[in-house]
Amino acid sequence: MATGPLVIHHGSPNFWLSPDIWVTLSGQPNTPPGVANPIVGTTYDVQVRVENKSSSVVDDWTMFVCWAIPTLGGIPLTDISLAQQLNNNGITVPPGPNHIFQAANTWTPTFENHGHECLIAVVYWEGLPFPFPSLNGDAGPDQSWSIAQHNLGVVQAPIHPRRFHYTFQACNGADEERLFVVAARQAPLSEIAAFLPGVPGGRGLIDKPGKVERLGIVASAKPDPGELEAATAVLSPVKIAPRSCRLFTLSGALEEGGALINVTQSLDERVVGGLSVLVIAETK
């Protein structure tokens, strides 16, 4: 039986915020939304929820789970910092939703990007050649595979200065060089309401919205102060070589409350990659 009926759902309204992928403290209950701000050096389990849309049991499937620093666009497999694969090993998926599977290996965030992660999960027919050339979180599902991405970071704006920074990368999974638009904008906190129980402040953050000032993106992982001051919220065109990635820094200032920022990567006016950053103003 093919695995077309198996689905890992995309997020809504943002495909990169799948509710079907999350992390929990190792050994703790696997219920969502889990932990949204993983801590460097702490061990976590990666959970993936799968729905079987058919009326039959699916038993010839494999799940691939991987994580990288926060990433826009199709990720070349050579760029993934750590990946683990969970084979079916006789596990079957009955008809219906809410079948939660735990990745075979635990994940311990390293110092790279302070523990923030881009989680990607793929469920696919075990007869399908793998690995794919690249992983595109906005793709599918197809008759033989389904892919989803969870790309939410949490950062604090310190008391002094109120400036925050967030490192990410934009990738080109194609075989030819491409020109992209990379843009950031503030979005309503309600877009991540389902994930707020897993962050400091919880759902109460919705009642404390803040406004981001001096929002900008710099095409560098270590921008100097002058670059940060001159940064704009839209970079175009962004040239990325075939099957490679470029590093960027998102920055801004937040005086109080919380704010959600969506960063998108577009090609020919179509969004092909995205990530979200929840910024929380530090209090005394």
Predicted pLDDT at 152: 92
Q: What is the pLDDT of residues 147-204, one digit of tens each?
A: 999 999 988 888 878 899 999 999 998 889 999 999 999 999 999 999 988 887 788 8
Phi, psi of 29 (to 5 degrees): -55, 145
What average pLDDT does this structure show over 119-126? 84
* pLDDT of 15 strictly over 90: yes
* C-alpha dihedral, 107 to 112 to 74 to 140, nearest 10°: 30
Predicted pLDDT at 133: 67
Predicted pLDDT at 83: 45
What average pLDDT does this structure show over 210-224? 93
User: What domains sit in the chain, N to C, each tagged with a CATH number?
Assistant: 6-150 (2.60.40.10), 154-281 (2.60.40.10)
Q: What is the pLDDT of residues 56-81, one digit of tens each?
A: 888 888 888 887 788 898 887 765 54
Mapping DSSP to helix (H, G, I), strand (E, B) and coil, where does residue 190 land? helix
Give percent of the chain above pLDDT 90. Answer: 44
Predicted pLDDT at 115: 57
Contact 54, 118 (CB under 8 A): no
Q: Which of 14-23, 50-59, 127-136, 208-217 has the lowest mean pLDDT?
A: 127-136
Helix-, strand-, coil-residue percentages of the chain, each rounded to 5? 10, 50, 40
Predicted pLDDT at 254: 94
* pLDDT of 241 strictly over 90: yes
